[in-house]
Copies of this chain bind each other. A is one copy, B any other.
Amino acid sequence: CVCVRVCVCVCIGPTICTCVPLLLLICFSLQEKKKTELCQELSLQARDLRFQHTTSLTARNNCIILRMAALKAILTQESLMVLDFRGLGLERWLVLELAPQLASQTHSLPFEFRALEAILQHKVNTLQARLNEVEPVILDTLESLVDPKILSADRSKLHVLLQNSKSLSELETDIKMFKDSMLKVLDEDETVEEFCLTKWTDPRVFEESSLGIDHAEEMELLLENYYMQAEELGNRARELKGLIDDSESVIFINLDSHRNVMMRLNLQLTMGSFSLSLFGLIGVAFGMNLTTAFEDDPRAFWLVTGFMFLGSGLIWRRLLSFLGRHLETSVPPRVMQTHTQTLCLVICSCKVHST
């Protein structure tokens, strides 16, 4: 019987066909007829082999039908059939790892346990590999984005972050779907029992199980084990998401802080420019082609020049200290207005006085 199936596999085309009778690699993409034959042989319905969901795990008529993303497989009591396996990057794993693993006889557990364990382990490994790929990139990118010295976020790093953040979301969804499909089996004791294929067919095993080790309990432990591993991966992914959110807040605070510091410097310089403009106006006034009484006074030049520089220096200093006080206390900014008005008046009066 197993032999026939291998023939099925061979006659489809030049597929990779290992000689381990426990693992059948079948390619249905060419002939729909073969699919129907397989259904009849296993007493399955056509719908059972449609694999409409990206992650599913069901027991049907003493077979376990499962799909883990690209991997579609039917697991019977004696063999594992992998369907449509080509072009998915799975060949290497199938031939070099899965086949020897299934062939090894060290396990004391029935075949379906070994096959299921190998597939679930592969799935969890794939998820873990994806997380391991995304995690360091995200951590590095965040590390460099959060650096308080940088004034503006590096855009190429933002792009990298966004890409990896998207991958992380997809990974989270995949983990969730894997967990859900496991949970659906684990939630009902009957379904778990159905997964123990050997128990129902081999009377000898059935008796044994009633004495010592319980198959259903073993199957539950096996599934729970991978459920927990997926749970831990999910936790890591969630933590990573949280770290991205926290880091983004810190990036925003950093950028805002930089802006505030620059704005303060800018304001201080604007104050300086204002002071220079104010007292520069005196110079402009004396530069007019109009008659003043000081044209010939040799001290006048130094007096007026000194007044200009010292005056602007003093006003600037006052403005700076006003700014310092203003930002520390929470006085409403209305005060500024009156302050500058008194300033104006002082200057005017001082001007009048000098007249």
- A residues 248-275 near B (Cβ < 8 Å) are 248-274
CA distance A135 to B295 in the complex (A): 73
Q: How many Å lie between the Cα of A286 and that of B287 in the bound state?
A: 8
Alpha-carbon separation in the docked complex, A283 to B282 (Å)? 9
Q: Mark A316-355, 1 if CB is under 8 A from B, else 0.
A: 1100110110111010011011001100100110010001
Q: Give complex CA distance A340, B90 in Å.
A: 58
In contact, A300 and B290 (Cβ under 8 angstroms): yes
Give the shortest distance, in Å, between A57 (CB) and chain B (any CB): 12
Q: Decide yes or no whether A101 CB sits under 8 A from chain B.
A: no
Q: A161: CB under 8 A from chain B?
A: yes
Residues of B contacting A337 in the complex (Cβ-Cβ under 8 angstroms): 268, 320-321, 324
Binary B-proximity of A58-93 (CB < 8 A = 1, otherwise 0): 000000000000000000000000000000000000
Shortest distance in angstroms between A349's beta carbon and chain B's nearest beta carbon? 11
Partner of A340 from B180, B272, B281 at Cβ < 8 Å = B272
Q: How many residues of A contact B (CB 8 A)?
A: 121
Q: Do the beta carbons of B280 and A284 come within 8 Å of each other? A: yes
| Copy total for this chain | 5
The residue of chain B having its C-beta at the shortest distance from the C-beta of A283 within the complex is B284
How far apart are A323's CB and chain B's nearest CB, in angstroms? 7
Query: A176 to chain B: which residues have CB within 8 Å?
Result: 235
Asked if A287 contacts B291 (CB within 8 A), the reply is no
Hey, which chain B residues are within 8 Å of A273, CB to CB?
270, 273-274, 277
Residue of B nearest to A142 (CB): B162
Contacts of A323 in B (CB 8 A): 265
List, in ascending order, chain B residues with CB within 8 A of A292's CB.
289, 301
CA distance in complex: A268, B277 (Å) = 14
Given contacts A153-B257, A244-B246, 14 further A-B contacts (CB under 8 A): A47-B221, A53-B228, A152-B261, A152-B333, A169-B242, A177-B235, A248-B249, A281-B308, A288-B301, A288-B305, A289-B295, A310-B348, A316-B344, A317-B341
